[in-house]
Amino acid sequence: MSQQGEKPAAHEDDWWRKLYDETAPDTGPSSAPDSLDDRFDSVSDTVSEAVEPESEREPEPLPEVRPDPRTAWDPYREQAPPSEEPAREPEPVPVATQAAVPGPRNTVFPAPWEAPAGPPGPRTFAVPKPPEPEPPPAPLTPPAAGPVTAPDPVALHELPPDWAASDAPADGGGGARPLVGHLGDRPPTYEAEPAALPAATSENLDALVPDTVLDGARYGTYTLRAASVRGDSARFRGEPRRDALLTARFGAAESALVLVAVAGGVRGGEGAHLAAADACRWIGGAVARSHARLSEDIRAGRRADLKSGLHRLTDRTYGKLRARAAELGLEPGDYTTSLRCLLLSADPDCRTRVFFGVGSGGLFRLRDGLWQDLEPVIPEQAASGVSEEGPDGDRLTMDLQITTPPSPYSDGPAPPPAELFRFRASVARPGDTLLLCSNGFAEPMRGEPELPDELAERWGPPGPPGLPAFLADTQLRIKGYADDRTCAAVWEA
């Protein structure tokens, strides 16, 4: 009955009774199987074609066996024979009651867990490469008649006969490795190679100098070779090389000027190598600032201007050495050096070679197979170093012979006279060899005739040696000469 008291018709309550009738079966879970496989089968049956009965369906042809793409190109891998297992009968598929859906929906899709049909795809791992075919064996030749001997093992390590000529330098120095030899009946006491390094600390690393310096160049009509080697005595005792060498070019083209500076420190001085390095650096800076004027004077042949100008530059260099000695608290004679320089023009038409310097050393020239000593002559009175001071401290004038009392501001005897300035300008000829050297090389050149004779043979025709050969030539050892050796040689073309 409704709120208005009406009684509904009997057929209107049938659906209510059917839904809540206690005698009706439960509408909960169905007794039919309901898994993922069952649902997939239901969907496949719905979208596939109607399957004919088993009795009327023709057997499906077996899929065509295709070769594996990985082995199709491999001639060394045999293809596996086809499997002889009997074909599996297809499982019965229930007949669909509905009409097949036309179009692309008539395709049967395999289940996710089933193996895909068709040839397998390419794999991602590397396939081993086939072995390379072995080369065919060489034809056997019949052995020659005669006794069979084993090969000499030494012959396997022999060099071809023309190996030295193929590695020979272009300057004609030969392909053999240069060796350091000696002149005289027996070699010197010291070894020919370095033995001990100089002592070093964390504060004097910038003051260390190498055992050997080697350099070379070629400008205009001349070839330059320069070397500085520590002496045998210093090598044995672990002392630094006292000699210093500087080779520098200032300017460019034909107006360029080449400077070669050789300095030799005082023997026994604690900072002798530092004084030599300072002298080379300071004279190099002075020449660099005036190289344009110097190059012009050399090419024009102004000897007087060159001598006065280079004298001033040298005096300024030694003035700096004395000031440096005062800063270090040393005597001027303890912080000094000999200095000898060469100025070479890069102009091919200029063959004027200028030498200047102060102190001991040597200047030689090899012409027509003979050595000439070109050291400038020093006046005997100035070279003797005789003091003008009398026995009582009085000084005499040179001409008037008038005695004068000693100066009240002098604390001691007058200092020895300074080294005289040396200057020489010469014109080179084709085939000449000019040699500038420190005192360690000049002494055996003047005292041992074997050394200049040997160098005249080595440095003559056909031309200048290479750098390694030149270094070996400068180290020709003579018993009794163990000082540092520094030299620069100029070959004229």
**156-171: average pLDDT:** 41
What are the residues whose beta carbons fall under 8 Å from the beta carbon of 197, sequence distance 6 or more?
238
Beta bridge mates, 352: 427
Residue 252 sits at φ, ψ, to 5 deg, of -145, 165
Q: Characterize the bridge pairing of strands 222-229 and 485-492.
A: antiparallel
* H or E element in which residue 453 lies: helix 450-458
Summarize pLDDT for 233-246 with one digit per residue, the tens: 999 999 999 999 99
pLDDT category of residue 35 using cuts at 50, 70 and 90:
confident
- pLDDT single digits (tens) 44-58: 777 765 555 555 556
Give tens-digit pLDDT for 364-397: 999 999 999 999 877 654 444 444 444 444 444 4
**Cα distances (angstroms) measured from residue 211 to each of 214, 228, 258, 385, 469:** 10, 8, 24, 35, 17
The alpha carbon of residue 383 and the mean position of all alpha carbons in its chain are separated, in whole angstroms, by 50
Tokens 């068709």 belong to 118
- Taking a C-beta distance cutoff of 8 angstroms, is the pair 232, 477 a contact? yes
- Alpha carbons within 13 angstroms on the beta-carbon side of residue 107 total 6
The first and second tokens of residue 301, run together, are 């042949």
The Cβ of residue 469 has, within 10 Å, a number of other Cβ atoms equal to 21
CA angle 86, 89, 94 (to 5 degrees): 175
Per cent of the chain over pLDDT 70 is 57
Rounded alpha-carbon distances, angstroms, from residue 27 to 20, 31, 42: 11, 10, 21
pLDDT tens sequence across 59-93: 666 656 565 555 544 444 544 455 555 555 555 55
Query: What are the beta bridge partners of residue 395?
Result: 389, 404
